[in-house]
A and B are shown apart, each in its own frame.
Chain A
Amino acid sequence: MTDTVIDVRDLRKTYRTPFRRKKVEALNGVTFEVKRGHIFGFVGPNGAGKTTTIRTLMGLIRPTGGTATILGHAIPSRAARYKVGFLPESPYFYDYLTIAELLDLAGRLFGMSRDARRKRADELIERVGLGRARGQSLKKFSKGMLQRAGLAQALMNDPEVVVLDEPTSGLDPIGRKEVRDLILELRDHGKTVFFSSHILTDIEAIADQVAIIARGQLQALGTPAELVKRTVLGIDVTVRIAADAAIDELVAGASHVRRTGDELALTLATDADVDAWLVAARERGAKVIAVEPRHETLEDLFMREIAGAA
C-alpha cells in the first residue's frame, strides 16, 4: 500500500475572462504530496488557489496542466471518488430535503444498499449532532447546521480520504472545536484529511503538514514545526499592577502593550534585560503572572509568505 494518498505535480489552471479573453492563472505549478493518515492543512488568502486546487482534485474543474492522483488514480477518477469524502466550500444542498434524505441520496450515489444507507445515516446524524433536526428540511438549517450536514454527507461512504474546503467557516467557537475534534478522530481511525482554512489557529492546532498557497503558487510546505522558526522573537510578560500605578518607564521600548484593569501585558525585545525590568516592576508593586518566550506562529509565517508573494 502506497504511503502517498494525494500526489499533485505541477498542477496548473488557466482561465480566460469572458470577453477580453485575458488569461488568469489560478494555479501556477502547484506540487505537494499528502501522506496516508496525515492531516494536511491548506492555507492561503482569498483568491490564492485553495478552492481551485480542491475542485480540481474533486473533478469539478479540469486542469490545464500538470497531474494529480488520489489513491493512485489519476483525476478525475470515479474509482478514487468511491473512497473520497468531500465537503464543498459554503456547502449548498437541496434545501427541500431533510438531512436523512440528503444522506440517502449520497448513499445511493455510492451504490450503498437501502439498509446500509439507513444505518449509516442514523449513525452520522447523531455523530454530527443533528438528531433533533432530523425531521426539518435543510432550508430551516442555520449555516453551522448546514456545515454539519455537509460533513455527514462527506462521511457517508466511510471514506479513506476526506477533503474539506473551509470546514470551520461560519461556525461558532464550539462548532469549530467540534469540527477540529472530528478531524482528529478521523485521523485516529486511519483516515487522511485534506482541509483548507482561513483560520490559522485551527490549522496550527491539528495539521501534521501545512501548505501555504498564494497567487496560485505554493509558498511553503512542511510540518508546522519545520515551517515555524523556533527562534525567540521576544519575551511576553504579564504582571498584575495597580490601575493607577505609573507604567511609562515599564512600557518604554516594549511592544504589544495591553492594559486591562490591573493586568498589564507586553512584549520585551529579545535583548532586553528582563531581570532588571522585573525588578523595576516589583518596585512599583507589580506581581508577576507570566514570563514566556514568544516564538513565531503560523500566522507570522503566513503573513511573511504572503507579503513575499505579493
Chain B
Amino acid sequence: MVGRIWAIALNTFREAARIRVLYGIVVLVLGANLLAVVLGQMSIHEEQRVARDIGLAGISLFGSLTAIFLGVFLLYTEVQRRTIHAIVSKPIERWEFVVGKYVGMAVVLTILVAMFAVAMILMLAWQQVGVSGEIVRALVLAWVEVLTVAAIAIFFSSFSTPFLSGIFALAMWALGRVTPDIEAAIKTGSGWIRATAHVALEIVPDIHLFSPSGRVVEGALVSVNGDFITWGYVGLASLHGLGWIVGLLAFACVLFHRRDFA
C-alpha cells in the first residue's frame, strides 16, 4: 500500500515540478518580501513588524493559492487526459491514488513553503530581525494552512471541474479565514443572517486558527508577535487542520471511488 501511494506521490511531484506557474509564484513571493522591506521602511518604527507580517501573509496567501491551483488541476487532468486509465487498471485502490496525489502535492507545497520561509528569513535578516520562536511557530501554522487548503481543493476536484473546484475551494478558504466575523454575525445578526452564518461555520475549517494575528481571545487582541502563540496552540491548530485534511480526503476517496472513467 505504502509503495503504491508513494509511486503516485513521486509521479505527482514530478508533474507539479514541471508546472511553470509555480516558478512564477516563487517570484511573486520574493517580490512580496521585497515589498515588505519597502513598506517597512515607510512605516514609523514598525519596520520589523511590517516586514514580518507581510512576509508571513505572503506565505499564507501564495501558499494557499498554489495549493488550490495544484489541487484542482492535478487530479482533474488525470481524468481529463485519461492518464488515469493506465493507472487504476493496475492493482491500486482508488483511495490509494487520491491519497498518493495528495501526498505528492503536500511534498511540493512543503518545499514551496520552505522556500518562501527561507526568502522571508533572509529578508528579516536584512532588516536585522532574528528568527524567533514566534516566527517558527507562525511558519508551521502557515504550512498547516496550506496543507489544509490543498485537501479542500482535492475534495472538490474529486467530483467537479477545475473552474468550479477553484471557486468552491477559494470560497471555503476565504470563509475559513473570517470565522471570527462569522461568529460575530451569529451573535449580532438576526434571522437568515444568523442561520447562514451558523451553516457556514459548520461547513468550513477554521483557517483563521492558522493566522491568529489580530484575533481577539478572551477579550485580548493576540498577535503572532506575542507570547500567546505557544507550541500548545500550534499543536491544537495543527490537529484541527489534520482532522479536516483526513475528513476531506476521506470524502474525496469515497466520491472518487464512485466515478466512471469513460
Query: Which residues does A use to contact B, with CB under 8 Å?
Result: 15, 52, 55, 58-62, 78-79, 81-82, 84, 86, 88, 90-94, 96-97, 105-106, 108-111, 150, 153, 157
- Asked whether, in the complex, the Cβ of B262 is within 8 Å of the Cβ of A61, the reply is yes
- Asked whether, in the complex, the Cβ of B82 is within 8 Å of the Cβ of A88, the reply is yes
- Asked whether, in the complex, the Cβ of B91 is within 8 Å of the Cβ of A60, the reply is no
- 16 new A-B contacts at CB < 8 Å, known A58-B85, A78-B93, A153-B86: A52-B262, A55-B262, A60-B260, A79-B91, A81-B91, A86-B90, A88-B82, A92-B83, A94-B14, A96-B18, A108-B6, A108-B7, A109-B7, A109-B90, A110-B91, A150-B86
Tally the A-B contacts, defined by beta carbons under 8 Å.
Answer: 78
Task: Return A105 CB to nearest CB of chain B, in Å.
Answer: 6
Task: Return B75 CB to nearest CB of chain A, in Å.
Answer: 14
- Asked whether, in the complex, the Cβ of A108 is within 8 Å of the Cβ of B91, the reply is no
Query: Which residues does B use to contact A, with CB under 8 Å?
Result: 3-4, 6-7, 11, 14-15, 18, 81-83, 85-93, 258, 260-262
Dominant secondary structure of chain A at its interface with chain B = loop
- Asked whether, in the complex, the Cβ of A61 is within 8 Å of the Cβ of B260, the reply is yes
* Between-chain CB contacts (< 8 Å), 6 pairs: A55-B85, A59-B89, A91-B85, A109-B87, A109-B90, A111-B3
> A87's closest neighbor in chain B, by CB?
B86
Task: Return B253 CB to nearest CB of chain A, in Å.
Answer: 15
Instruction: State A59–B6 Cα separation when bound (angstroms).
Output: 22
> A82's closest neighbor in chain B, by CB?
B91
Question: Which are the 4 A-B pairs with shortest beta-carbon distances?
Answer: A108-B7, A88-B85, A109-B90, A58-B89
> B12's closest neighbor in chain A, by CB?
A94
> A62's closest neighbor in chain B, by CB?
B260
- Asked whether, in the complex, the Cβ of B15 is within 8 Å of the Cβ of A96, the reply is yes
Chain B residues in 8 Å Cβ range of A157: 90
Instruction: State A111–B83 Cα separation when bound (angstroms).
Output: 20
Chain B residues in 8 Å Cβ range of A150: 86
Chain A residues in 8 Å Cβ range of B11: 94, 97, 105
> A78's closest neighbor in chain B, by CB?
B91
Instruction: State A119–B102 Cα separation when bound (angstroms).
Output: 30
> A163's closest neighbor in chain B, by CB?
B89
Instruction: State A81–B262 Cα separation when bound (angstroms).
Output: 18
Instruction: State A90–B81 Cα separation when bound (angstroms).
Output: 11
Q: A61-B260, A61-B261, A78-B93 in contact; A108/B86 too (CB < 8 A)? A: no
- Asked whether, in the complex, the Cβ of B90 is within 8 Å of the Cβ of A91, the reply is no
- Asked whether, in the complex, the Cβ of B92 is within 8 Å of the Cβ of A109, the reply is yes
Instruction: State A52–B85 Cα separation when bound (angstroms).
Output: 12
Instruction: State A90–B82 Cα separation when bound (angstroms).
Output: 9
Chain B residues in 8 Å Cβ range of A15: 262
